[in-house]
Amino acid sequence: MSQLTNLYLSGNNLNRQRPDSLGNMSQLTSLDLSGNQLTSTIPSSLFALPSLINIDLSDNKLQGPIPGSVYELQNLTDLVLSSNNLSGVVDLDKLLKLKNLYHPDPSYNGLSLNINNSVNSTLTNFHTIGLASCNLSAFPNFLREQAGLRSLDLSNNKIHGEVPKWLFHVGKDSLYDLNLSHNFLTNLKCLPWQNLANIDLHSNLLRGPLPISPNTTIVFSISNNKLSGEIPPLICGLISLQVLDLSNNNLSGLIPQCLGNLSNSLSVLNLGINSFSGTFTATFTKGNILRNLNLNGNQIEGQVPPSLLNCECLEVLDLGKNKINDTFPHWLETLTELQVLVLRINRFHGHIGTSKTKGNYPFPKLRIIDISCNEFTGLLPTNYIKQFGAMMNVDEHVKLTYMGQTYYQDSVVVVVIKGNEIKLSRILTVFLIIDFSRNKF
């Protein structure tokens, strides 16, 4: 096929064989072999094709170094090699000299970058930069020149200290995606980018108050840091917010009531493992799309907010390890999408009876229920347990998947299995738990 210009074979099961025959396609401009099972090294002949513009070999099992011939591809615009087993050194200075390149992505391999911060990269206007898991120890200086950058991923590196002020001018009016997670950053005073939508800063060492993101924010994850102080009410002005994850910090004070006003756009609200106190008074309106509410590990008092009845899309409700003083919230039975209910280590009390709804199972999709370490009394509600319909349906051919959507995977902070507390960072859809222990049944 010597005249072929575009070849797309992504998302198949191609494996083992080296794509040597592609070296004969002298007119090839676009090649996409992503999402296969290729295990070989990358043949040098592939990167010697003079017409190549777009290359995507991501999500395979390719090994060995990146052929040096890649630095000769003067027409190259996209070089996507992420999520393989590649090793060796990438000479980033040589890549910067490819003046048409606007999307380099060698992320999530075993590669190391050779960077000379004195190289002038003003001829290169990158659109997307993916340098995750590249053993970086500092912000590369070439970023200073990238005024039109739209996406920057420097996650899973070894970058320490304060975010430099010059980074605030990188893509100030264009940056859409920013991922600095899994580093050792200590200070980020503001998020000045005007059009930022997706912000991932989780798993750093960030201290001080919560930085407020721009009004364009859709996903804001800043969990697993050392932030302190209260949630500023300004956060309720983020009318496009879909995911807000502030978990595992030192935040305190009352949870702003106005967060309920965001429930028409908000899908995930995770405030777990902080020091929030008082009653949770957010009011969720009818027609909201809230899917995951996690308040685990705080000092919330009062009762379960009755407006949760309006959360018809709710799949995960985790109120564990608080000071909630209430009876069992039977009215949650009507939430037909609820799959995870965690009320453990609170002050719940009273009897748990059978469902009063004739002909319908209570909690039809419930797969994890943990009401342990409370003060429930009466007979063990075996008849109630027998009606958990989703726990009876066994599909031998079910595919192992995790709860949550592609942009946010659900987690349960702690479950107890055979007396041991185990943290679930992800929830398999076939995982079933009933824990009624440490009560007064």
Q: List the one residue out of 238, 279, 266, 270 whose CA is nearest residue 251.
A: 270
Handedness of CA 332, 334, 336, 337 (dihedral sign): negative
CA distance 350 to 330: 12
pLDDT in tens, 393-431: 666 666 666 666 555 665 655 677 777 777 776 777 677
| Average confidence (pLDDT) over 55-83 | 92
CA 237, distance to chain mean position in Å, is 22
pLDDT of residue 345: 94
pLDDT in tens, 286-345: 889 999 999 999 999 999 999 999 999 999 999 999 999 999 998 898 899 999 999 999
Say if domain 260-400+433-441 classifies as CATH 3.40.640.10. no
Give yes or no for a contact between 221 and 196, defined as CB atoms under 8 angstroms apart.
no
Statement: residue 356 has pLDDT above 60: no
| Average confidence (pLDDT) over 344-371 | 80
CA atoms within 13 A on the CB side of 49: 27
Statement: residue 202 has pLDDT above 90: yes
Chain-wide mean pLDDT for the chain? Answer: 87
Both tokens of 178, joined, read: 């920013």
pLDDT top residue among 123 and 168: 168
Most confident range, picked from 158-162, 234-238, 358-362, 430-434:
158-162
Statement: residue 230 has pLDDT above 60: yes
pLDDT of residue 400: 66
Find where tokens 């659109």 sit: 127
Give yes or no for a contact between 185 and 162, defined as CB atoms under 8 angstroms apart.
yes
Share of the chain above pLDDT 70, in %: 89
Torsion of Cα atoms, 115 then 121 then 155 then 89, to 10°:
-30
Statement: residue 198 has pLDDT above 70: yes
36-62 b/e (C-beta count within 10 Å ≥ 16 → b): bebebebbebbbebeebbbbbbbbbeb
pLDDT of residue 354: 59
**Residues paired with 243 in a beta bridge:** 219, 268
Give yes or no for a contact between 160 and 184, defined as CB atoms under 8 angstroms apart.
yes
Statement: residue 50 has pLDDT above 90: no
Share of the chain above pLDDT 90, in %: 56
Give yes or no for a contact between 108 and 135, defined as CB atoms under 8 angstroms apart.
no
pLDDT top residue among 179 and 393: 179
358 pLDDT band, cuts 50/70/90, is: low
Statement: residue 56 has pLDDT above 90: yes
Q: List the one residue out of 303, 293, 362, 356 whose CA is nearest residue 328.
A: 303
pLDDT top residue among 18 and 205: 205
pLDDT of residue 84: 94
Domain residue ranges of the chain, discontinuous segments joined by + = 260-400+433-441
Among 200-204, 318-322, 384-388, the minimum mean pLDDT is found in: 384-388
pLDDT top residue among 10 and 361: 10
